[in-house]
Amino acid sequence: MKIRIFALAKELGLDSKELIEHANAAGISVKNSALASISPEEKDIILEQLKSGSSSTATAVADEPAAPAPPPPDRSGKVRKLDQPAKRAAAKAEPIQEEPAPEEEAPQQAAEEPEVEQPVEQTAEPVAEADTETVVTEDAEADTPATAEEVESPVAETAEVEVPAAEPTAESKAPKAADDNADKVEETKAESAKEKLKQSGSGGLSPDEYVPSPHASRGKSSPREMRPVGTVQSNEQRARGEREKKRPQLARPAVAAPPKVPVSKPKPKADEAPAQKPEMPLTPEMLDRQSPLSAHMAQRTAEKDGVKRPRRGSTRMIDSPDDAQKQKRSRRPRRGRDDDDVPYGSRRRTLTRRKRTGPVEYSDAAVVELPMTVRTLSEAMGRPANQIIGTLMKQGVMVRINDALTEELALEVAMELGVELEIKRERDLEDELAAMLSDEYDEGAELEPRPCIVTILGHVDHGKTTMVDKLRSASVAAGEAGGITQHIAAYQVDHGDHRITFVDTPGHAAFGEMRARGANVTDIVVLVVAADDGVMPQTEECISHAKAAGVPIIVALNKMDLEGIDDQKILQQLATRELLPSEWGGDTEVIRTSGETGAGLDELLDTINITSELQELQTNPDRDAVGVCLEAFRDEGRGVISWLIVQKGTLEVGDVILCGSAHGRIRSMFDEHDNEIEAAGPSTPVKVTGLDKVPETGSHFFVLDEIEEAREVAEKRGHTGRSAYLAATARRPQTLEDILDQARGATVKNLPLIIKADSPGSIEAIRGEIEKFEHPEVRTAVIHSGVGGVNESDVSLSAASGAVILAFHVIADDRAALLADREGVEIRRYSIIYEVINDIRDALEGLLDPERREVQTGRAIVLQTFKTSRFGMIAGCRVLSGKVERNNRVHVIRQQTLVNTYPLASLRREKDDVKEVREGMECGIRLDGFNDIKEGDLLEAFKIEEHKRKLEDVPKKTEEDAEV
Ligand SMILES: Nc1nc2c(ncn2[C@@H]2O[C@H](COP(=O)(O)OP(=O)(O)OP(=O)(O)O)[C@@H](O)[C@H]2O)c(=O)[nH]1
């Protein structure tokens, strides 16, 4: 059974190394390791050796040629660093010890014998530090005559040690070399031990400096574990020391006492392999002053920058917590001063954070966006939401923080709280579109002359169409139904160097609004006044429209070809209506014309040109077109056709246009002669196709970039229109008239209508006319209107509502006609608006209750009364005037006071019932329900006649009632 060295050393109370030395002295080859093992026999030999004393130790040591160099007894020398040269020396010396060891154990031995290096290192250390001040000083302080020679001698000695290490492979030389080496090592050891003893004796190592080796029992060695020789000496050591004293003194290294280094003892780990290297934690002081890397880096930095600048994150450069604080402080202002050096993100974060953490700002002016709530208003004004809620509560408005606020309420709150509030509305496309119409839109653009737009106005049949027809050399009047212009249309005429655009408007009053819209695009109004008719009411309306539009008026005194014309009379009429003719000194040009003969038309065109030149009509043709829809209708083949007149810019095929609540992309474009064109400049009337539905007459059109944008606005407009209609419908029961009707128990009779026409203008005209029929008892209700023929839907709606279908210039399709026959729905077709209006008037008057009038037929006086048990009181009367009829009613008048009115119950003459009794005759009259009749009472007999009422009659009565 093998016995471990450390176990035996423990058993004997020895150090493992001492035991190894003894074993070696006894001739037993033991690895210089506490883990080495020996056999029991060898143990006995060692024990014997120990018992026999130390006398033979020196011999035994001398006889061990290959014994590893024992650790130097003197380990009290300063160990500050492990120099590579020393390591190399130790490594070279190692093979000397390997000779007697088995081959398989050699690597382990080499690994397990760092201790062997230590002595060499200890020996070599002075080589590195021989010139240090500390060593010299210590040496100088030593009482031994340590001279420079002594200090240098280890260098030579170490060099000698290295010599044999340089030839380790020469096995034959090994014993001798080993002997020499061993001798020298022994000498070194002896010297070191001697030196230590000397130091110990002279106070070089105080008892306090003794550091017991925690690993001594395990036979480990480290600089800290080195035990000062001299404090505990074995017999052998003592003997060796005596022997060495006899030897010549060699130069010894000056070894200083180890410094007091607070070392934390590493906790041994159970499973961990024993440390083979000395553990020496580096203290901050050592790092600070001795780290070659840090010193090198500091030097490099200083050389590079010229100034010593601490590197971020370098603990080395921060000497103390105060220094670290100074560093932080010095960084902060630099970040603020030099913005370029600060990363964008970090600077922004800092600014934002500062802003957030600031106090709440109570501003006197605030901007809030719609839609707004109490919360958003609170945030915008910098006032607490509770304050806003409280303010509103005082006004009787109960809101919560997330409730929406109207603009009015918000403004009231702002006024109450003394805040100037600006309400920002969301991007209003309508405003942007309106801006496109303004002159500012073309500011700075290059403007070019444009044709003037002339609108011809005048009373019906005064010759407008004939005049334009003559100008265009085309017959338009001949094709018109009833000889009345139903649609606005426009034409262009070239005269001289100018092109003139004529807009022909119907002269009838029903088209007043269309005419007014026509005037909106107008530069000049030509007022046609028939010389044989003079100024008519509708002429006056035209003058008003033209003046309201602020456009110059040129009077065309037409039909001058007729005989017996008194033009002076017409001029007089014009003058009284603020149109003083130029020939009378005024500024109104009056041109005598004849549409029939064409006389005066050139002069009229010349006058138009001169007037337009005076106006200097210019516009920007290079922009998105805007203009007005003059008329629109649905064509069976081409879909929706819209008459547009371009006011500004140039309209092109493919443009996206928005017109009222209609939108679309222009598919095709036609001029007045139905020639297809690609573009239309300013003041050009065109017919276009491509809109999704029939646009409203008089609505502006705009060219937009995106079809989606146009659709969005069109839908919004359509929605707004429906909302307005619903709102109007919802408000209707709330009118005062309705409330009064309900109180009176009166019922208003509606005439439901469905209007289908060929164009929006026609519908508008019909609506405008029938809305004039105002009556408290009857009214029209247009439940549906649309452009196009009568379809099944219209008939179904009519059947359900009892509405009358008015088909103006349109007919019903076959299926609708069949359905109408089946449902008994009447479809009334019209081509002239007069007929429509007359029929509507008749229908409304037919709905009126007839007027009941009291018609007195005769008067009778009561001469005598007879009371019968069967019939009650009977009055004997004489007819004073007229006649009394059986079906009359009677006012009983007593002493000139009306007692009451009663129907006649019986009328008799001489016991016979008669139908009537004439003046001067006597009769018996019994009244129904009245027996208190007396002599002298006057009976007025009357009958009720019903008279059909007229719409015109009723308003007068209503006005009288209102006055009452
Ligand atoms: N003698 C004469 N008759 C004319 C003249 N101009 C028009 N007329 C006649 O007057 C009638 C009405 O003419 P229109 O041109 O249709 O009149 P209008 O003003 O356009 O009528 P509306 O379209 O209903 O507004 C027609 O019978 C024409 O023949 C003219 O200069 N001399």
**Residue 123 Cβ < 6 Å to ligand 1:** no
- Give the pLDDT of residue 727: 40
In angstroms, how far apart are the furthest CA atoms of the chain?
A: 199
- For residue 172, the CA-to-ligand 1 centroid distance in Å is 151
> Rounded distance, CA 556 to CA 581, Å?
11
Residue 123 annotated as lining a ligand binding site:
no
- Give the pLDDT of residue 260: 60
> Rounded distance, CA 659 to CA 662, Å?
5
Residue 560 annotated as lining a ligand binding site:
yes
CATH number at residue 673: 2.40.30.10
Residue 284 annotated as lining a ligand binding site:
no
CA-closest candidate to residue 501, choices 667, 657, 630, 415:
630
> Rounded distance, CA 630 to CA 647, Å?
12
- Same domain for 371 and 473, yes or no, is no
CA-closest candidate to residue 196, choices 144, 158, 154:
144
Residue 386 in this model has a pLDDT that exceeds 80? yes
- For residue 773, the CA-to-ligand 1 centroid distance in Å is 29
Average pLDDT over the chain, rounded to an integer: 69
**Residue 539 Cβ < 6 Å to ligand 1:** no
Distance of CA 491 to the CA centre of its chain: 49
* pLDDT confidence band for 771 (50 / 70 / 90): confident
Q: In terms of residue numbers, what domain contains 376? A: 365-424
pLDDT tens per residue, range 502-512: 876 654 443 44
> Rounded distance, CA 818 to CA 827, Å?
11
Higher pLDDT, 340 or 620: 620
- Same domain for 693 and 801, yes or no, is no
- For residue 639, the CA-to-ligand 1 centroid distance in Å is 32
Report yes or no on 280 lying in a domain. Answer: no
In the chain, % helix, strand, coil (3-state, to 5) comes to: 40, 25, 35
Q: Of 357, 390, 424, at which residue does a domain stop?
A: 424
Report yes or no on 82 lying in a domain. Answer: no
- Looking at the structure of the chain, the number of domains it has is 6
> Rounded distance, CA 207 to CA 210, Å?
5
pLDDT tens per residue, range 6-30: 788 888 888 888 888 888 888 888 7
Does the pTM of the predicted model rise above 0.80?
no
CA-closest candidate to residue 197, choices 205, 186, 209:
205
- For residue 645, the CA-to-ligand 1 centroid distance in Å is 25
Mutate which of 459, 462, 466 for ligand 1? The one with the most ligand atoms within 8 Å of its CB, which is 466
Higher pLDDT, 207 or 856: 856
- Give the pLDDT of residue 884: 92
Residue type, 437: L
Structure tokens at 755: 């209007």
Distances (CA, A) of 171 to 65, 95, 168, 175: 12, 10, 7, 8
> Rounded distance, CA 234 to CA 349, Å?
75
**Residue 460 Cβ < 6 Å to ligand 1:** yes
> Rounded distance, CA 699 to CA 661, Å?
9
ipTM score assigned to the predicted complex: 0.98
**Residue with CA closest to ligand 1 atom 9:** 463
Q: Of 670, 694, 728, at which residue does a domain stop?
A: 728
Report yes or no on 270 lying in a domain. Answer: no
% of the chain exceeding 90 in pLDDT: 14
Ligand 1 atom with least separation from CA of 466: 15
User: Are the beta carbons of 73 and 100 closer than 8 angstroms?
Assistant: no
Report yes or no on 213 lying in a domain. Answer: no
Residue 471 backbone phi and psi in degrees, to 5: -65, -40
Report yes or no on 734 lying in a domain. Answer: no
Beta bridge partners of 495: 498
> Rounded distance, CA 74 to CA 190, Å?
8
Report yes or no on 276 lying in a domain. Answer: no
- Same domain for 709 and 760, yes or no, is no
Report yes or no on 492 lying in a domain. Answer: yes
Ligand 1 atom with least separation from CA of 483: 16
If one counts every other C-beta atom within 10 angstroms of the C-beta of residue 450, the result is 22
- Same domain for 519 and 597, yes or no, is yes
pLDDT tens per residue, range 543-580: 876 776 678 999 999 999 998 888 899 999 999 988 99
Residue 109 in this model has a pLDDT that exceeds 50? no
Integer-rounded Cα Rg, in Å, for the chain is 65
Phi-psi region of 175 (alpha: psi -120 to 50; beta: other; left: phi over 0): alpha
Report yes or no on 898 lying in a domain. Answer: yes
Ligand 1 atom with least separation from CA of 484: 24
- Same domain for 713 and 765, yes or no, is no
**Residue 484 Cβ < 6 Å to ligand 1:** yes
Structure tokens at 122: 């200890």
User: Are the beta carbons of 626 and 438 closer than 8 angstroms?
Assistant: no
In eight-state DSSP terms, residue 246 is: H
Mutate which of 455, 456, 465, 511 for ligand 1? The one with the most ligand atoms within 8 Å of its CB, which is 465
Residues 6 or more apart whose Cβ sits within 8 Å of residue 757:
763, 766, 785, 787, 806, 807, 808, 809, 810
CATH number at residue 783: 3.40.50.10050
- Same domain for 768 and 706, yes or no, is no
- Same domain for 794 and 666, yes or no, is no
> Rounded distance, CA 771 to CA 184, Å?
139
